[in-house]
Amino acid sequence: MENVAMREKGSLEEPLQVQVITSQRVRISELFSNEYRRRTVMLWIFEFLQAGVYYGFASLAPSVLASKGFTLVHTLEYSMLIYTSYFLSSLASVFIIDSQKFDRKWQVSIVMLLMGITGLAFGFAITPVEVIATGFLFGFLSNIFSNAFHQYGAELYPTRMRAFADGVQYSLSRLGNYVWLSVLPLVLAKYGAVGMYAVVFVMAVIVTLDVGILGPRASKIELEELSH
């Protein structure tokens, strides 16, 4: 077969040599080296706080509706309508997640700010139409945000340390999830929906500034170039 191929196509060029990069044992101190300190600080702040914003709605929306006086049946009905936004926003993400005009950095930071504003509006909502409209919009924005940040957070470190760095930062998201889902229901019980979403809004503003100031641009940049 090789002889036939040689007669018909001639000899082939030597294949390109590709450097194979493997994961390596990484010390946590390396995440704070001059090269990676800025993005590590950015991601650690981001991961801890974004959990409160995202799950302050995703997990607590039914409790918020109940606190507003809606019946169990209406709470479940409105929640079902609101949560359909997650499917639609994931579909929308397909068309923007790798956009150069709307870089992933801004998909994370700007959408987070819009989530904070929409969450506050959800806290103030009284009528069923207001509740469904603001809740649907928050859910739509939150999944665009989630799809972008899971990709963004993982691509900011080189391959040799990506698994370790991404695992450490995401563990802070799980810690934040535990902390904020313990604290926010207490705020809801004492200060109501507006008070709780005021706290969520403050967290959203901090995340917006954190990623907007410290985060690098990411879309349409080769992975190993971006991660250095």
CA-nearest of 203, 142, 165 to 39 is 165
Residue 64 and residue 180: Cα distance in Å, rounded?
A: 15
Q: How many domains does the chain have?
A: 1
Tokens coding 66:
């109940």
Among residues of the chain, what percentage have pLDDT more than 90? 41
Asked, for residue 158, whether it belongs to a domain, the answer is: yes
**209 within 8 A of 45, measured Cβ to Cβ:** no
Write a three-state SS string for 176-192: HHHHHHHHHHHHHHHHH
- Is residue 31's pLDDT more than 80? yes
Asked, for residue 211, whether it belongs to a domain, the answer is: yes
Quick one: CA dihedral 194, 169, 179, 139, positive or negative? positive
Asked, for residue 149, whether it belongs to a domain, the answer is: yes
Q: Tell me which residue range forms the domain holding 185.
A: 111-216
Plot region of 69 (φ>0 → left; ψ -120 to 50 → alpha; else → beta): left
Q: Count CB-CB contacts under 10 A for residue 217.
A: 12
Q: What is the pLDDT of residues 155-187, one digit of tens each?
A: 888 888 888 888 898 899 999 999 999 999 999
Least confident among 4-8, 75-79, 124-128:
4-8
Asked, for residue 223, whether it belongs to a domain, the answer is: no
Asked, for residue 159, whether it belongs to a domain, the answer is: yes
Asked, for residue 119, whether it belongs to a domain, the answer is: yes
Q: What is the pLDDT of residues 54-93, one digit of tens each?
A: 988 888 888 888 888 888 888 888 888 888 888 898 888 8
Asked, for residue 207, whether it belongs to a domain, the answer is: yes
Asked, for residue 68, whether it belongs to a domain, the answer is: no
State which amino acid sits at residue 170. Answer: Y
Position with higher pLDDT, 92 vs 19: 92
| DSSP structure class, residue 101 | T
